[in-house]
Amino acid sequence: MGNLPIDRLRPRWTVLGRVQGATPHCFSPGLSRSGEGEYPYCGGHRLPRCPRICRNLCRSKPMRGLRGQKGQPLLERASRKVACLYMELAQRAAEIAEHFVAPLGRRWLHVQAVAARAAELSPAVPPQDRDVLVAAAWLHDIGYSPEIGHTHFHPLDGARWLQKQGWSAEVVNLVAHHSGARFEAAERGMSQELAEFPFEDSPLLDALVAADLTTGPGGERYSYAERIDEILSRYAPDDPVHRTWVKARPVLAEAVDRTAKRLAEVQPR
């Protein structure tokens, strides 16, 4: 995949600043009319979550640099990272996941179901983090792709690729540490490599763990206990994955329980 074509990543954006079919990720909610025409502006988006270039653009209002012929050089100079900003976060994540994971058979069914489960669990995290949760759910297994799976440890490979593409640290670190990756890294002697990405024990990570570990390999809905039993059944006792889950099982059960409690607190009785 390397660098995705810009026109693949911004099919619904025009240089006139009009959005067709989707709200742009950064320039939500829309357009400002001023004199010569319409200009996109940042209407309340959380600026700290934008990459640096995006923050600079957001603060320029109206953004005449994206108008007509003047806008074309800007978009041509922009890297793939900036082009990504013109699409919804989860939508971009879904397209990338489809590219990398759809060729892998039933793992694509798993990823789609995990993303749907993450959306169900999203009330368990603060509203401003829900898009990050769903995006990470889409992206959590891209490291299985042979295109980017250089170490054959998929949390690390996926996180490294996303970091190179300019994804936010929140999404990158969630992918790096999803579902007890730190335990498997220890079994594989790769803890130092995984330490490139800070670990944060947070409601976001808990919810991603719960989404992944209550979803079967073909998209089935499992309880946490059923899911761990299923994983253990597929690996011999001396396999690093089996050893990982023997150790991680009680720790990650607490993450799933915390998510369930948070969800119960916010749902109407």
At residue 268, the pLDDT reads 77
Largest CA distance in the chain: 70
Low-confidence ranges of the chain (pLDDT < 50): 2-87
Contact call for residues 12 and 19 (beta carbons, < 8 A): yes
Cα 140 to Cα 153: distance, rounded to the nearest angstrom: 12
pLDDT value at residue 189: 97
The pLDDT of residue 122: 96
pLDDT at 259: 98
- The set of long-range contacts for 152-155, using a CB threshold of 8 Å and a minimum separation of 24, is 153/184, 153/185, 153/188, 153/190, 153/193, 153/194, 155/181, 155/184, 155/185, 155/194
The phi, psi pair for 37, rounded to 5°, reads: 175, -160
Domains in the chain and their CATH numbers? 9-84 (no CATH), 89-266 (1.10.3210)
- The C-alpha R_g of the chain, in whole angstroms, comes to 20
What are the tokens at 131? 């898009």
Give the pLDDT confidence score for residue 14 in this predicted structure.
25
> What is the structure's pLDDT at 267?
83
- For the full predicted model, state whether its pTM sits above 0.95: no
Decide the pairing of beta strands 37-40 and 31-34.
antiparallel
Q: Which of 38, 44, 21, 40 is nearest to 30 (CA)?
A: 40
Q: Which two tokens stand for residue 128?
A: 């401003």
Site of tokens 């976060």: 89
Length of the chain: 269
Q: Is the dihedral of CA 89, 154, 201, 269 positive or negative?
A: positive
